[in-house]
Chain A
Amino acid sequence: MNDWTPSARLRDLIDAYLDGTVSAGDVAELEALLRADEGARTHFARYAQTHTDLALDLAASAAADRALAALPGPVSVPGTPRSPGPGRTWAARSVRLLVAASLVLGLSVGGGVVGLIAAQTGPRERPGPVARTLTLDFREPRAGTVADASGAGTGFTHRLPGTGSGLPARDPSLTLVPGGGLDVAATSSDLNTRYRLEQAEFPGVRLADLGFTGAEDFEVAAAVADAPAMAFVGQFGVYAGTSAEWATRGGLVSQRAADSFRQFVVNTRDGRDKDAYFIGLGATGDDLRVRLARVGGKFTVAVENRTAGTTSTLGTRHAEFLDGRADVVVGVFACDPRGTDRKAVRFSTFTATVWVPAGR
């Protein structure tokens, strides 16, 4: 093994760097030490590997754990059997890691890419659900999908029924950003009270295209970079619904105080927002990841504020009107009913996952 011994200062700097408690001056000092000595770099790599392995073994990726716990059968990757105990989360995350591998090997559905974990898993003890994932990173236009202002396909194949009927084929509120990302301009609209739905921006995909028949668990997530300032009740996030009248959505909603948001989840029942639940705070400029999931038949919304380093999980009255419905559309939304300047929300990634029975 490596006989090189790190100095106390190097150990302290590496710990602070990995903890995120490091200052700019400390980073510069650590960089100088690492650049000067191969032994220091080797030590850093080994220590960082331990830090990551520990995090992967112990840190609960809430979605991965929930998803894994909800599976009636094992989902394993080669050499990584699903088992309880310390290795469980690593196995769970390995599933997610393999989503990346499998999605790029997968099928093309609606201009997106679908990954089948089963395609790479080893022999199963008994059949279990298979995750079918659609990922959009908005780096390249996808022909035949909902077009942005320039005519480039965004990757979204549908809209929430009842929304966007007045939007032109080249949607001026959608813009694919060079290098990745989709800007969705928040129009003056709202599902609540069916307010100006003809211009409401709710692009999405059909879960049925991922094998959804109404009963399966699913998850939809989107990352938002640099939350824009909005007028009071301006909002953005992800949704699942069968129409503008019947949907559940979650994300951030702007408050009366300037540049502040609250995390929220709400059901729209027959065109009226009901069962609203609010928690936490956000601010203009925050980076966020919003995730809406139905696992074990229960809906949750998780809002991870990557700027503040916090995560909130929200629940509300169950959206029973979606139970058993096969025609669910999921996607992203941005609306600013009291706004006048159509602020753009930048979505950097979008994923939709359905867990379907193996062999189907």
Chain B
Amino acid sequence: MDPDPLPADRRALFAECLHAHRGRLFAYVHALVRNLADADDVFQLTALALWRRFDTYDPTRSFLNWALGVARLEAATWLRTRARDRLRFSDDLTELLIEAFAAPTDREASDRRDALPRCVAKLPGGDRELLHECYQTGTDVAAVAARLGRSPSSVHNSLRRIRRVLFECIERTVARGARGTT
């Protein structure tokens, strides 16, 4: 049966908390299941689980830490029931990673997301095209490699290089912003 409805103020609090932390919660789930579509589903299931347990949430404690703990269990169940747990992290490590994903401040998380499109815009045209082809069109890396006459490992290597360039760009951008505001 559906859970008993919560008072309006609790519903509003739940919506606000989930909305505020959705980016890091989704990233944590994505890091555990590694497939974007799976992450979508696990996130949905996590949101339902959080709602069902929201009456046990202590608002004096971190919502994000609490939500990450629930997401960890949902992701583990998801991977286990689909026999995809051979290449997953141990429960101990996923618990340790909660701290790492919860560590950035809301401001820092927001700054990083804001920096991303600016860093993408700085990439050479060929790199942007490869990102577009592999991410935006959802084309399989092997198919992209075949079309380009390259090996899949070569395309993977290019994507890794681009990702690292973007990561370094974001780190520098956020660091500059932090220095500018202190």
User: Do A and B associate with each other?
Assistant: yes
Chain A interfacial positions (CB closer than 8 Å to B): 1-2, 11, 15, 17-22, 24, 27, 31, 34-35, 38, 41-42, 44-62, 77-78, 85-87, 89-90, 93-94, 96-105, 108, 113, 120, 135, 137, 140-143, 179, 223, 225-226, 287, 289, 304, 306, 309-311, 349
Query: When the two chains form their complex, are residues B138 and A59 in contact, meaning their CB atoms are under 8 A apart?
Result: yes
Query: When the two chains form their complex, are residues A34 and B97 in contact, meaning their CB atoms are under 8 A apart?
Result: yes
Instruction: Please name all residues of chain B whose beta carbon is closer than 8 Å to the beta carbon of A99 when the two chains form the complex.
Output: 44
Most chain A CB atoms below 10 A, which of B90, B96, B136? B136
Within 8 A of A (CB), among B117-161: 117, 120-121, 131-132, 135-138, 140, 156, 159-160
Query: When the two chains form their complex, are residues B40 and A61 in contact, meaning their CB atoms are under 8 A apart?
Result: yes
Instruction: Please name all residues of chain B whose beta carbon is closer than 8 Å to the beta carbon of A87 when the two chains form the complex.
Output: 117
Q: How far is the CB of A302 from chain B (nearest CB, A)?
A: 11
Instruction: Please name all residues of chain B whose beta carbon is closer than 8 Å to the beta carbon of A31 when the two chains form the complex.
Output: 89-90, 93
A21, A58, A93: which contacts B135 (Cβ < 8 A)? A58
Q: How far is the CB of A183 from chain B (nearest CB, A)?
A: 14
Q: Interface size of B by Cβ–Cβ distance < 8 Å? A: 74
Cα-based distance from A338 to B66 in the complex (angstroms): 50
Would you mind naming 23 contact pairs between A and B with Cβ atoms under 8 Å apart? A1-B171, A2-B171, A19-B160, A35-B96, A47-B163, A48-B101, A50-B167, A53-B23, A54-B120, A54-B131, A54-B163, A57-B117, A58-B120, A60-B136, A94-B22, A101-B14, A101-B15, A101-B18, A101-B19, A101-B22, A101-B47, A104-B48, A306-B35
Query: When the two chains form their complex, are residues A86 and B30 in contact, meaning their CB atoms are under 8 A apart?
Result: no
Name 5 extra pairs, CB < 8 A, besides A51-B163, A225-B82: A20-B35, A27-B89, A49-B24, A50-B167, A105-B11
Instruction: Please name all residues of chain A whose beta carbon is closer than 8 Å to the beta carbon of B22 when the two chains form the complex.
Output: 94, 97, 101
Q: How far is the CB of A76 from chain B (nearest CB, A)?
A: 12
Query: When the two chains form their complex, are residues B31 and A52 in contact, meaning their CB atoms are under 8 A apart?
Result: yes
Q: 8 closest Cβ contacts across the A-B interface?
A: A100-B47, A104-B51, A45-B100, A58-B135, A86-B117, A48-B31, A52-B27, A41-B100
Cα-based distance from A85 to B44 in the complex (angstroms): 26
A41, A104, A141, A223: which contacts B97 (Cβ < 8 A)? A41
A15, A135, A225: which contacts B163 (Cβ < 8 A)? A15
In chain A, what residue has the closest Cβ to B78?
A348
Query: When the two chains form their complex, are residues B97 and A45 in contact, meaning their CB atoms are under 8 A apart?
Result: yes
Query: When the two chains form their complex, are residues A45 and B140 in contact, meaning their CB atoms are under 8 A apart?
Result: no
Query: When the two chains form their complex, are residues A100 and B43 in contact, meaning their CB atoms are under 8 A apart?
Result: yes
- CB-CB under 8 A for A49 and B138, given A58-B132, A86-B117: no
Q: Is B9 an interface residue (CB 8 A)?
A: no
Instruction: Please name all residues of chain B whose beta carbon is closer than 8 Å to the beta carbon of A85 when the two chains form the complex.
Output: 117
Cα-based distance from A24 to B117 in the complex (angstroms): 34
Chain B interfacial positions (CB closer than 8 Å to A): 1-2, 11, 14-15, 18-19, 22-24, 26-28, 30-31, 34-41, 43-48, 51-52, 77, 81-82, 86-90, 92-93, 96-97, 99-101, 103-104, 109, 112-113, 116-117, 120-121, 131-132, 135-138, 140, 156, 159-160, 163-164, 166-167, 170-171, 174-175, 178
In chain B, what residue has the closest Cβ to A108?
B2
Query: When the two chains form their complex, are residues B174 and A58 in contact, meaning their CB atoms are under 8 A apart?
Result: no
Query: When the two chains form their complex, are residues B116 and A55 in contact, meaning their CB atoms are under 8 A apart?
Result: no
Query: When the two chains form their complex, are residues B167 and A47 in contact, meaning their CB atoms are under 8 A apart?
Result: yes
Query: When the two chains form their complex, are residues A1 and B37 in contact, meaning their CB atoms are under 8 A apart?
Result: no
B28, B41, B132: which contacts A349 (Cβ < 8 A)? B41
Query: When the two chains form their complex, are residues B81 and A225 in contact, meaning their CB atoms are under 8 A apart?
Result: yes
In chain A, what residue has the closest Cβ to B135?
A58
Query: When the two chains form their complex, are residues B87 and A24 in contact, meaning their CB atoms are under 8 A apart?
Result: yes
Instruction: Please name all residues of chain A whose beta carbon is closer than 8 Å to the beta carbon of B112 when the two chains form the complex.
Output: 46, 49-50, 53
Query: When the two chains form their complex, are residues B27 and A49 in contact, meaning their CB atoms are under 8 A apart?
Result: yes
Instruction: Please name all residues of chain B whose beta carbon is closer than 8 Å to the beta carbon of A179 when the two chains form the complex.
Output: 77, 81
Query: When the two chains form their complex, are residues B167 and A46 in contact, meaning their CB atoms are under 8 A apart?
Result: yes
Query: When the two chains form their complex, are residues A58 and B136 in contact, meaning their CB atoms are under 8 A apart?
Result: yes
Instruction: Please name all residues of chain B whose beta carbon is closer than 8 Å to the beta carbon of A86 when the two chains form the complex.
Output: 116-117, 120-121
In chain A, what residue has the closest Cβ to B45?
A137
